[in-house]
Structure 1
């Protein structure tokens, strides 16, 4: 009897010994090692230039300072005080916020509608229409801006020709004029921002449409069938099923669109023909104009760029915090 009872005791003691002697598993460091090349590239191409811009924003810099003829005069927060105390900066910030808000809303609405349309088409038709839509997103910003500037040319542009073809009565009733030849589409801030919004939304909505389409393909079709069987319409299905399930996708798209629209530069520079029209300035082109227009103020331009970067980082931080709260709940 003692032998029989001793065997389990021996086995149990051996198991405890094995568990005690088992070495602790060290954390796998291979993923971190694989990330090192990527982090090095990001550090060289992004963090180092950003650090240089921050350093420049604390100095008073001109051409002679950048050439090395003179030492960099330290001004501390003087450049930031000069910018934040300038009433024109508040005008530029207002233009930037309003432009970004309008473009984000329009881009998200149009992109979502196109994504829903693509989801209803067959595979071949969806691939064809999606490819055509993606041509706008794949077009370089510089090329697209040049094409749109030609379309709105005041003498030979397609838009000018189309408005001239309207019946005189209709054109006069709607716009108060019949002859559009020589009309400066880019001379008034209102029409300029209207054309710029058209260009930016045209270039941005395909990415939103394809992203929404990818999210829709992951939603189970049984949910839509059950909702239709209960008599739910398209609008109710979207707000009760599609939007809640694709909320993370919409969140990422809103943040990306906000970042892209806040730092619009190429399209505005091409359409405006440079930096002459200060009434249409936004933060990106304002930083460029201050830094490179004679007399150049590289330190003040760097301060504007840092302020723009901080604004975008705050927007990103707010989104990340919202995502973490949703995961915790």
Structure 2
């Protein structure tokens, strides 16, 4: 009778395990609910602050000073002289700034466009292949994406080498009339690809696109896998062709994916340094400088002007932030309208 009354009053089955076992703390951290997300984000924010924000602050601070070998000596370093905006004034008065900016922007626009187009086409192809063949192709293209920039640059520099490169050898196999018609020359022996700024950036574009499109392709493939097959069946029943289906169905649904990939590609291609440095043979050809290589040349060439190099890096960072902000803002406005 007592047991029945206890159950009736909500006491539960006495044979069931107790909800609060001995030694198990009660649920909840004791913190207000609005504090918990910030506490969880704190470790990540500390790491970002230590690895990104503090070096960024040092770079900005250095850009207002004159920093050379005397200021970075291990023993008895001299204090850096404050220059104000003098480093930035030198940048905008230099002819190298405008040529480097032009090379940076044109290269980024061409490379981003080619990377997105080729990556999208390969992603669509992978979606049509069978599982085994798709896996095989993904492994093959991701090997190119995983190749370190230094090894990548050495490979393409060897391929386009003037004396022993495969490219010159293959172009010499073409009939003279065809080579003259397409390229304007028939003899490719000892042709120096890296002495001219245009051909140097041509090789650089090929190298960067070759290494960048696999990431785009795999990302597009992942987005395609999330689209319902019923939408394509409905489009097919309406008489939609392949390109129309992509324009009306695939692209609108993958627009968020393309937006993120575009922003990432812009950031990566604006900052290309390793491949250009190795293909250019260092800082010899100043006409081929982009902003990253020019910043390095000013900071570490003799005599080193690290304050000026830091100022160039700040300008490059500011340009990237403005472009990213405008692009993301346009995306947000478009999504709000929709």
TM-score by shorter chain over 0.5: yes
Quote how far apart the aligned CAs of 1:176 are: 3.5
Q: For residue 317 of structure 1, report the CA deviation from its aligned partner.
A: 1.7
Query: Which of residues 193, 198, 215 is equivalent to 1:185?
Result: 193
Question: Is 1:138 aligned with 2:128?
Answer: no
Matched, 1:61 2:71: no
Matched, 1:195 2:206: no
- Aligned partners of 2:335 and 2:164: how far apart in 1? 55
Q: Which runs of structure 2 are paired with 1:78-157 in the superposition (5 Å)?
A: 78-157=86-165
The one of 291, 294, 301 equivalent to 2:302 is 294
Q: Which stretch shifts more, 170-179 or 210-219?
A: 170-179
- Choose from 21, 35, 51 the match for 1:29: 35
Name the TM-score, length of structure 1 as normaliser. Answer: 0.89
**Deviation at 1:31?**
3.1
Measured in 2, the distance between the counterparts of 1:126 and 1:151 equals 28
Q: What is the CA distance between 1:73 and its match in structure 2?
A: 0.8
Does the C-alpha gap of structure 1 residues 180 and 65 become closer, same or farther in structure 2, counting only changes over 3 Å? same
User: Quick one: distance in 2 between partners of 1:49 and 1:39?
Assistant: 14
For residue 212 of structure 2, the aligned residue among 201, 204, 208 is 204
Matched, 1:170 2:178: yes
Give the match for residue 17 of structure 1: none
Instruction: Name the structure 1 match of 2:266.
Output: 258
Q: Could you say which residue in structure 1 is the equivalent of 2:14?
A: none
User: In the aligned structure 2, how far is the partner of 1:145 from the partner of 1:280?
Assistant: 16
* Whole-angstrom CA distance in 2 between matches of 1:319 and 1:30: 32
* Counterpart-to-counterpart distance in 2, 1:241 and 1:176: 43
Q: Distance in 2 between matches of 1:177 and 1:245?
A: 46
Match of 2:240 in 1: 232
The alpha carbon displacement at 1:327 in A equals: 4.5
Deviations 1:127-186 (A, max 9, x none): 111111111111111111111111011111111110121223322333343332211011
Bigger shift: 75-84 or 34-43?
34-43
Give the Cα–Cα distance (whole angstroms) in 1 for the partners of residues 323 and 180 of structure 2. 44
Q: Distance in 1 between matches of 2:182 and 2:255?
A: 40
Q: CA RMSD in A?
A: 1.5
Q: What is the rounded CA distance, in whole Å, between the counterparts of 2:324 and 2:33 in structure 1?
A: 30
How far the C-alpha of 1:326 sits from its partner, in A, is: 4.0
Deviation at 1:117, TM superposition (A): 0.5
- List aligned pairs for 1:274-285, cutoff 5 A: 274-285=282-293
CA distance in 1, matches of 2:335, 2:309: 40
Shift of 1:28: 4.4
Q: Which runs of 5 or more structure 2 residues have no equivalent in the other structure?
A: 1-30
Deviations 1:252-280 (A, max 9, x none): 00000000000000010111110110111
Say which SS state the counterpart of residue 82 (structure 2) adopts.
Answer: coil
What corresponds to 1:39 in structure 2?
A: 45
- Please state how far the C-alpha of 1:224 moved relative to its aligned partner: 0.7
Which structure carries more helix by proportion? 1
Q: Which runs of 4+ in 1 moved over 4 A?
A: none
Farther off after superposition, 286-295 or 170-179: 170-179
Query: Bigger CA drift: 314-323 or 49-58?
Result: 314-323
Cα displacement string for residues 33-88 of structure 1 (whole angstroms, at most 9, x for unaligned residues): 22222211111111111111100000011111222542211111111111012222
Deviations 1:74-121 (A, max 9, x none): 111111111012222111111110110000100000000000111111
Q: Which residue of 2 aligns with 1:16?
A: none
